[in-house]
Structure 1
Amino acid sequence: MMHKFCFEALDRSMRDIMRVKNPNTLDMTFGGKTVVLGGDFRQILPVIPKGTRKDIVGASINASYLWRSCKVFKLTKNLRLRSLQSETEVQEIEKFAKWIANIGDGTIGESLHGECEINIPEEFVLTCVEDPISTIVDSIFPMFRRGHSDIEYLKDRAILAPTLDIVDAVNEYMNDYNNTEGRTYPSCDSVCKSDSNVDMLADLHTPEFLNGLRCSGVPNHSLTLKVGSPVMLLRNIDHSLGLCNGTRMIISKLADHVLEAQILCGASAGTKVLIPRMSLTPSDPRLPFKFQRKQFPLMLSYAMTINKSQG
């Protein structure tokens, strides 16, 4: 999902470095080194804020001069199916995976003026009577209403959502069913002092205004947490402990200036770690100024956005 300029910059750097030993590498892609790229153009493309389809396609690596030197390898087996024990579950997921792949290949639906109408099979749709959030929660977390919050139960489940608004609505709904006592942690927001006109910005952008800003990759101003709530880390803190952006944990203790959490998955699963407050600066280019938010770098993870960069 990286912009093609990132790969082209790496290409120029590698050529410049490798030519010290071998001048011929100046004309070789990536200085003669083999580079392996992973991804799927049917799933994730470069994020171009407010970009058109032309802008997004033009930013992809297959629109770069490097693509001529790339050799494409395609996976032919769904490795996720090997971890399943039930034959019925394997068949259901394999059927769904093929349907998704056919949509990406454009073999489903009739194209009309660049748009395609696709009928979703009934077995892939949840029938909603009144509340859509209640319907999807009962489907993904059917035992949560009865107080079933086992770690093994929570770590394999999450609701994917397209926007931050839906994520917040689902997380608040789920958090209300956690009967343990919670704590609300407000953030401390201020305009970055690196701006030359920081004094003028401080007068215009009051703390109340900054508290209301919601940006992708930064927790909300008010963060309500409870013991037993699953959370996701939003910053890289300690790679050796597995504390990276996207690490899922479960809250085990709430304190004033630090949180204790247990890592749910990965090589460090089961390890208890301490999460401090951090100064976070959103990188949203739509904001005409920079501000800092001092808050725990966490968000509830009952529901998560499909692509955090797009929010």
Structure 2
Amino acid sequence: MIHKHAFEALDRTLNDVMNGGSANTSKAVFGGKVVVFCGDFRQILPVVTNDTRSECVNACINSSYIWSKCKVLKLTKNMRLTVGCRSSDIQNITEFVNWLLDIGQGNVGGPNAGEAVIDIPDDLLILNSVDPMGDLIRFVYPIILDRFNELTHFQDRALLAPLNEVVQEINERMLDHFPGEEVEYLSSDSLTECEDLSEDFDPQLYSRDLLNGLKMSGMPNHRLAHKVGVPIMLLRNINHKKGLCNGTRLQVVSLGRRVIEAKVVSGTNIGYRTLISRVSLTPTDKKLPFRLKRRQFPISVCFAMTINKSQGQSLSRVGLYLKDPVFSHGQLYVALSRVKTRDGIKLVILDKESKLINKTTNVVYKEIFGNIEC
């Protein structure tokens, strides 16, 4: 998901370092140092604001001048699914792995010129349900009221959806049914100076209520509601050495007026306790006619998360709620391939009339595979 410009900047920096700033720069990439990339082009590509399909593909590392100097090494065994499995399950696992690979490469559902409608096997679906979201929640978080104090309960479970709005809807429903007293935290929102603003800009035109009502990707909302024991996710990098990075999952231990104590439940520092305080955050959304400064805890409730946030995680139980279809390359593949077993995933797919169906959209930009062998 990293933009090729980041790698090209690293290449120029290492060349400067290795050549002592000399004008006679080496032709070797990265100053002659060995750099290992790992990733899967079937997964989600770099996110470019208001991108077109061609811009998204062009942002990838295999569209950079660096790619011609790279040697491609392929991993051939799915460790997430095959480690610890019984020999009697090998055939079923192999079929599931091959189905996932075909989805990632756009080989399911006929010709795929960017989007294709595919059938999902019935054993992966929740059908004939009066409350499909509730059934999906119960599949991912069974007996949650009895086990939420266990550190591992939230470690490898998640509900996934393509859009932030749907994720928030699921999180609010889960929070309402979670035991304990709810504590509310409100942000302090203000306008900050910006060089791009015109001389005619009048900050008095934008009321406090308007600023408080803004909801933006990657930013905490004005109103945060939490309970002790609830899983949360960091939205900013706080301490890399302690594993407190954007996307780290934690569980609330205590709720104070000015700090929130939480323990890490994902990554390499599981069980580590930390105190989270409010920080000043500024969104990067260029659509806003002003620059907002929001002082709030950089966290969000994460019973559910977006598919993009789940990339790179290995989970035992996943519920995929497709109230809206996926909209970007690799999203469906990423969501389906988070689990360790076929039995660990269930899908709810709704049509425009909110009726349960067994078909969904798979988005694959096949040109991304043009100069590599999958």
Q: Measure the CA separation in 1 of the matches of 2:97 and 2:182.
A: 39
Please give the per-residue CA displacement for 1:111-169, whole angstroms capped at 9, x wherever unaligned. Answer: 1665433211112222252333212102111222x443132222211111111111111
Matched with 1:263 is: 264
State the match for 1:136 in structure 2: 136
Q: Deviations 1:3-23 (Å, cap 9, x if unpaired)?
A: 222222222222233223988
Pairing of 1:1-311 with structure 2 (within 5 A): 1-20=1-20, 26-81=26-81, 84=84, 95-111=95-111, 115-144=115-144, 146-149=145-148, 150-195=150-195, 200-308=201-309
Matched residues, percent identical? Answer: 44
**Partner SS state of residue 55, structure 1:** helix
Alpha-carbon distance in structure 1 between the residues aligned to 2:54 and 2:75: 28
CA distance in 2, matches of 1:142, 1:65: 50
Deviates most, 285-294 or 211-220: 285-294
Contact 2:234 2:245 in 1 (8 A): yes
Instruction: Between 249-258 and 95-104, report the one with greater CA deviation.
Output: 95-104
Bigger shift: residues 13-22 or 120-129: 13-22
Query: SS at the partner of 1:27?
Result: coil
* TM-score, length-scaled by structure 1: 0.89
Structure 1: state its 5+ residue gaps: none
The change in CA–CA distance for 1:10 and 1:241 in structure 2 (over 3 A counts) is closer
How big is the shift at 1:107?
Answer: 2.8
Q: Is the 8 A contact 2:190 2:294 kept in 1?
A: yes
Q: Answer with 78-87 or 228-237: which moved more.
A: 78-87
May I ask how many residue pairs the two structures share in their alignment?
Answer: 309
Contact 1:16–1:26 (CA under 8 A) maintained in structure 2 = no
In 1: Cα distance, 2:116 partner to 2:246 partner = 35
Is the CA contact 2:106–2:112 (under 8 Å) kept in the aligned structure 1?
A: no
Q: In proportion to residue count, which structure has more helix? A: 1
SS in 1 for 2:111: strand
Q: Give SS of 1:135's match.
A: helix
Counterpart AA for 2:247: G
Q: Distance in 2 between matches of 1:223 and 1:287?
A: 22
| Conserved 8 A contact 1:147-1:178 | no
Shift in CA distance, 230/69, structure 1 to aligned 2, threshold 3 Å: same
Shift of 1:76: 0.9
CA contact (8 A) 1:84 1:90 kept: no
Measured in 1, the distance between the counterparts of 2:21 and 2:207 equals 56
**What amino acid sits opposite 2:287 in the alignment?**
R
Letter in 2 for 1:148: R
Say which SS state the counterpart of residue 160 (structure 2) adopts: strand
The one-letter amino acid paired with 2:11 is D
Higher relative contact order (CA 8 A, sep 6+): 2
Q: 1:190–1:154: structure 2 CA closer, same or farther, 3 Å change rule?
A: same
Aligned residue type for 1:245: N
For the Cα contact (< 8 Å) 1:249–1:264, is it kept in 2? Answer: yes
Query: AA paired with 1:280?
Result: L
Distance in structure 2 (CA, Å) of the matches to 1:21 and 1:110: 54
Task: Verify the 8 A CA contact 2:262 2:275 in the aligned structure 1.
Answer: yes
Shift, 1:199, TM fit: 9.0
* Deviation, structure 1 residue 83: 5.2
Superposed displacement of residue 301, structure 1: 0.9
Partner amino acid, structure 2, of 1:124: L
**1:200 & 1:24 partners in 2: Cα distance?**
49
Using the TM superposition, name which of 82-91 and 6-15 deviates more: 82-91
TM-score, L = length of structure 2? 0.75
Structure 2 unaligned spans of 5+: 312-327, 329-374
Amino acid at match of 2:147: H
Distance 1:255 1:290, change over 3 A: same
What residue is the counterpart of 2:320 in the other structure?
none
CA contact (8 A) 1:180 1:227 kept: yes
Query: How far apart, in 2, do the equivalents of 1:300 and 1:89 lie?
Result: 36
Following superposition, the deviation at residue 286 of structure 1 comes to 2.9
Q: Distance in 1 between matches of 2:40 and 2:25?
A: 29
8 Å CA contact 1:128, 1:135 repeated in 2: no
- Distance of 2:102 and 2:171 partners within structure 1: 32
Partner SS state of residue 123, structure 1: helix
2:351 maps to what in 1? Answer: none
